[in-house]
Structure 1
Amino acid sequence: MSTDLDTVDVLVIGCGPAGIVAADRLAGDGTRVLAVDVGRPHTVRVCPVDRMRACHGCRGICNVISGFGGCIHYGDGVKLSRFPSGRRLAERLGPARATRLEHEALGALCDSPLPQFRGARGGRSPFPVKDYPVASLTSTEVIAMVDRMHTRLTGWAALEMRLGTEVLSLAQEDSGGWLARLRDRRHGETTVRAAAVVAAVGRRGRSWWHRQIRDLGLEFTRPAPSVGVRFEAPAPLLAGGSAVHDDFKTTLVKAGVKVKTFCFCTGAGGGRIKFTDYASDGYTLLDGHVIAEPAAEGATANFALLAQLRDGDGQPWDNERIDSELIGPYRRLRTDRPGKPVLQWLPDFRAKRLGCASVEEFIARSGVTPSVRDYQAANLAAILPPQIHTALLESFDELIGFFAGHRDGIDAQVGVIGLELENTWDELIFTSSLETSAAGLYAVGDCGGLAQGIVQAAVGGLAAAEAILGTSATPWTEGLAG
């Protein structure tokens, strides 16, 4: 076991868009940066589920949420959104700074000219729809983006990047610096001393970061988590939503529950579902990716509905209740590999039964081939609280009538897939430069609990880098509430 002590100016934990852009900005200024990620190089992040095979967790390190690029998965389509998507992050930064950093983030991520962003498309909606500019990138454009970012980072003399490297522990020194204990497959365990740390751990590091926040005594507030399912159907059935906005987002209240649409995946070629495996937690959740290339025959599209989890007093569920009342029952739905996603035919989901007992039977009855095949049919509806189940169905019924323009025969063509679980990040208390209550520790991207999205993550990475370099012209109090 190695006991070498490395010293750097900044340790960046996570090589997704937030970490990449932060490391790029810092190293470009000559700051000595060590960037680590537990995942693999971008060119070998192959997901077997994408190839219609089974998810076995990729030896505990899911290629969809780990590795260079993070949520920007090499060779897959992505959706970029601009402010006011991520409104709370923009408010924290302050309007002028948010606008400037967004422009710089897009320049760091995208080649010139920038992709074409567009907001509302002119279609009328009976629902209030959040309007912000969106651009959907093709798989070819994503490959070029990730290759370009990798070339930039590996070109900096001041930057070292270690993939396949896990952060075991993080501690603040009395002097104010930071010690991180690392483990990688080639060097064993090492300890790194850094003057500052940028945590950009993304979804793979969610449980680890949850523990670190408490171990380090960081100030935070509890999130309002949501649970839901994803509906997959022939792409034409969702066309009404995409005619209004490429990322149709609205909020409804049904059965006393707040429900929102999420991750509306209806690109030119529809969308596909992806698995995100949380091996250390023993379950796999869902993601959705847009397909920006022209539609193939029989293309499917999908979107999620998420319902807030609150108790009778209006308080959000805590992690312990989510684990015992949702994750535990979810793991028991599959007999082959507990904790993997399940499929339920919509008529069965309504009735809380399992009449359609296999994926093959679902295809035969619905006439729809799912975008991935690694499901076991199960009674997903049975694990949802009754009020949540009712709210999701009432919301779907109202939305699908608008999306499709009719209701005739739609149920038979829809698969309900779960589980979705969102908004579980603690919401940190920090400055407008995203420095936490521990001096020299910054949290950017998902793990700050402020905003999701590739551009928003990159903006956060730039804000942290500016603060570390001391180049921000914006007073640290700008954008703070109260």
Structure 2
Amino acid sequence: MTTIVDTLVIGAGPAGLVAADRLAENGARVLLVDAGRLYQRRTCPVDLMHSCNGCKGICNVISGFGGSIHYGDGVKLSQFPSGRRLAELLGTERAAALADRAVRRLCGAEQPAFRGARPTDGPFKVKDYPVASLSAEQVRTLIERLHHRITAAPGTELRMQTQVTSLRPLGHGWQAETAGHAGTSETVHASSVVVAVGRRGQRWWQQALRRLELSYSAPAPSVGVRFEAPTALLRRGSDIHEDFKTTILTNGVKIKTFCYCAGPGGGRIKFTDYGDHTLLDGHIIPEAKTGSTANFALLAQLRAPDGTPRTTAWVDENLLAPYRRLRTDRPGKPVLQWYPDFRSRALDCTSLEQFAELSGFHPSLRDYQVTDLAGILPRAIHAALCDAFEDLMAYFNGSALTSHAAAQIAVIGLELENLWDELSLTDNLETTAPGVYAAGDCTGLAQGILQAAVGGLAAAEAIADRSGGTTGLAA
């Protein structure tokens, strides 16, 4: 079976949703495919205190309709200059205009309230950009609105649980092969392609862009851990900025805060399954509740002694392989270590029950084995993470980290970021293969829901301007 369309959009996360929505509005024939399930069928078992089972190979947190806008979670929308490299590519004024249009497309008439950092005279330079937190109800409304608008468009088709297995040039367009969950296959001919695969498609895209001989540069990866504690210990950071972000240089190691989740109800930790290993994600809880926990990550740049970034092969061998060996029950799933043990590279606390007794709280998720997470980190990076964390905690709480406060902290891993190749793109997000555009995480330029939506919108507007609507293979 062969389907002919104007544009094939691969990935129904924020970038793909906005791209398909904009192209459909222009009268184009669009096929939007995604490997995951519809949003109504994306319950995460870890949220229910069950074990992470990988969702039969399709993680419900990082794939499916909505992508990182996980149905039922609160999320943050961060305006530029968050995603600075994308803004530089688009141009500052154009990036701001696209962001305004993307917010309207995502949120409709109910525009969220954005606010920046509050003034502070502390020792850390906080990155200042407007942030809005959306409640779980707002996220549900957002996804449902986009779903109904896209599926109602006469020229647009949405196919879930469908993966693109190959992509190659065909005359003046592109040919893709797809595989559905029921063993179905299809050939798709498209004048243009928007690749918006997000984290679920990272490894597929890494291989595909090499086969297509696209121009790119290697990433500069980072490794880190996530700290979880009673919300009161981390509240100061979110009071300064909802997405408290700073960079700390300690003993020659560059450390940055990442994904600060300490809203009125604290934050949630998510498991993001990549098949042979599972990493972490965090979501804010804007709805107030008592007894909550909050979390944030610290990430350290991975560099060789000569200053060059570590390769993905080095990450696989020196971090992911030992990470997979940490758990004896289910290799490659996240682990937890009591902070005093993490700091001293010891393992006196050996169970979740003992952790709860020592810390005074239960982790927000229970699918952990307690083990020596510190032991797989390079010593210089481990020391830098601890020093940066304690400097931040002293700032948040007005004094050096006490043994009592240290005992209330869980260290959870593993965090890995910046594994995407950085693509060479035009200011319309077109790759070095004419007609193939990239948006969202897979550009290697920026992370963030709004940044992904901006990229999808920029690509769609360029395609619409070039085609005039329905010209091309499907005309």
TM range (shorter): over 0.9
- 1:259 and 2:255 correspond: yes
Q: Distance in 2 between matches of 1:258 and 1:190?
A: 47
Q: Deviations over 1:118-144 (max 9, x none)?
A: 001234432000000001111111111
Q: Are the aligned partners of 1:123 and 1:243 in contact in 2 as well (CA < 8 Å)?
A: no
- Counterpart of 2:459 in structure 1 is 464
Q: What SS does the corresponding residue of 1:263 show, helix, strand or coil?
A: strand
Q: What displacement does 1:187 show?
A: 5.9
Q: Distance in 2 between matches of 1:124 and 1:316?
A: 33
- 1:85-96 correspondence to structure 2 within 5 Å: 85-96=82-93
* Paired amino acid for 2:284: V
- Counterpart of 2:48 in structure 1 is 51
- 1:33 and 2:27 correspond: no
Q: Distance in 1 between matches of 2:163 and 2:448?
A: 24
- Counterpart of 2:306 in structure 1 is 313
- Counterpart of 2:236 in structure 1 is 240
Q: Distance in 2 between matches of 1:204 and 1:452?
A: 14
- Between the aligned residues of both structures, percent identity stands at 60
Q: Distance in 2 between matches of 1:293 and 1:332?
A: 37
- Counterpart of 1:285 in structure 2 is 279
* Paired amino acid for 1:80: L
> Structure 1: where are the runs of 5+ without partners?
473-482
- 1:201 and 2:197 correspond: yes
- Counterpart of 2:128 in structure 1 is 131
- Counterpart of 1:332 in structure 2 is 325
Q: Deviations over 1:29-49 (max 9, x none)?
A: 111100000000001100000
* Paired amino acid for 1:135: A
* Paired amino acid for 2:222: S
Q: Distance in 2 between matches of 1:337 and 1:230?
A: 20
Q: Are the aligned partners of 1:240 and 1:405 in contact in 2 as well (CA < 8 Å)?
A: no
Moved more, 182-191 or 437-446: 182-191
Match of 1:159 among 156, 160, 167: 156
Q: Deviations over 1:344-386 (max 9, x none)?
A: 0001101112111011110111002111110000100000001
Q: Deviations over 1:66-85 (max 9, x none)?
A: 11000001111101111111
Q: Distance in 2 between matches of 1:50 and 1:187?
A: 30
- Counterpart of 1:479 in structure 2 is none
- Counterpart of 1:442 in structure 2 is 437
Q: Are the aligned partners of 2:221 and 2:312 in contact in 1 as well (CA < 8 Å)?
A: no
- Counterpart of 1:13 in structure 2 is 10
- Counterpart of 1:364 in structure 2 is 357
Q: What displacement does 1:176 show?
A: 2.9
Q: Deviations over 1:37-64 (max 9, x none)?
A: 0000001100000111110101010000
Match of 2:421 among 414, 423, 426: 426
Q: Distance in 2 between matches of 1:368 and 1:256?
A: 35
Q: Are the aligned partners of 1:266 and 1:290 in contact in 2 as well (CA < 8 Å)?
A: yes
Q: Distance in 2 between matches of 1:86 and 1:228?
A: 20
- 1:144-155 correspondence to structure 2 within 5 Å: 144-155=141-152
- 1:180-219 correspondence to structure 2 within 5 Å: 180-186=176-182, 188-219=184-215
Q: Distance in 1 between matches of 2:304 and 2:102?
A: 39
* Paired amino acid for 1:199: V
- Please, what TM-score do these two structures have when normalized by structure 2? 0.97
Cα 1:385/1:452, change in 2 over 3 Å: same
Q: What SS does the corresponding residue of 1:144 show, helix, strand or coil?
A: helix
Q: Which aligned segments of 4 or more residues in structure 1 are displaced greater than 3 angstroms?
A: none
- Counterpart of 2:379 in structure 1 is 386
CA RMSD of aligned residues (A): 1.2
- Counterpart of 2:96 in structure 1 is 99
Q: Are the aligned partners of 2:87 and 2:95 in contact in 1 as well (CA < 8 Å)?
A: yes
Q: Are the aligned partners of 1:125 and 1:244 in contact in 2 as well (CA < 8 Å)?
A: no
Q: Distance in 2 between matches of 1:185 and 1:39?
A: 10
Q: What SS does the corresponding residue of 1:259 show, helix, strand or coil?
A: strand
Moved more, 23-32 or 92-101: 92-101
Q: Distance in 2 between matches of 1:66 and 1:193?
A: 24
Aligned residue pairs: how many? 466
Q: Distance in 1 between matches of 2:281 and 2:428?
A: 29
Q: Distance in 2 between matches of 1:368 and 1:255?
A: 33
Q: Deviations over 1:145-179 (max 9, x none)?
A: 11111111011000001000011111112x23111
* Paired amino acid for 1:357: T
Q: Are the aligned partners of 2:220 and 2:418 in contact in 1 as well (CA < 8 Å)?
A: yes
- Counterpart of 2:70 in structure 1 is 73
- Please, what TM-score do these two structures have when normalized by structure 1? 0.95
Q: What displacement does 1:392 show?
A: 0.3
- Counterpart of 1:140 in structure 2 is 137
Q: What SS does the corresponding residue of 2:332 show, helix, strand or coil?
A: coil
